[in-house]
Amino acid sequence: MPRGQKFKAEEIIAKLREAEVELARGKKVPEAAKQIGVTEQTYYRWKKEYGGLRIDQAKRLKELEKENARLKRLLADAELDKAILKEAASGNF
């Protein structure tokens, strides 16, 4: 796989399952990671984030993460607007 390629949650879960099969067959983690086309570090990161999730749960997780990021941006913008208005109202403008 090309370096830096982004995988969808469903693809990651499928690759993790494939790696689990290889591990059950007695392969070591570096070999299983190579088998699925990722580095050992990526395997562990994926396992931490997606380990034990079903595909529908992973999709929902990603949707919630996107929504959370959007809401954080909205809150930051609102706080900035509030600070600007407060400063303008105090006469320091």
Tens-digit pLDDT profile for residues 7-63: 888 889 899 999 999 999 999 999 999 999 999 999 999 999 888 778 788 788 889
Residue given tokens 């996107």 in the structure block: 66
Domain limits for position 32: 1-53
pLDDT tens digits, residue range 48-79? 988 877 878 878 888 999 999 999 999 999 99
- The domain that contains 15 carries what CATH number? 1.10.10
From residue 73, give the alpha-carbon distance in Å to each of 58, 63, 80.
23, 16, 11
- Total domains, the chain: 2
User: 37 and 26 in one domain?
Assistant: yes
Burial of 19 (0-12, 13-18, 19+ CB in 10 A): buried
Q: Model pTM greater than 0.75? A: no
Short-list 47, 50, 2, CA closest to 23 = 47
**72 in the same domain as 84:** yes
Q: Are 60 and 43 part of one and the same domain?
A: no
User: Is 44 found in the same domain as 13?
Assistant: yes
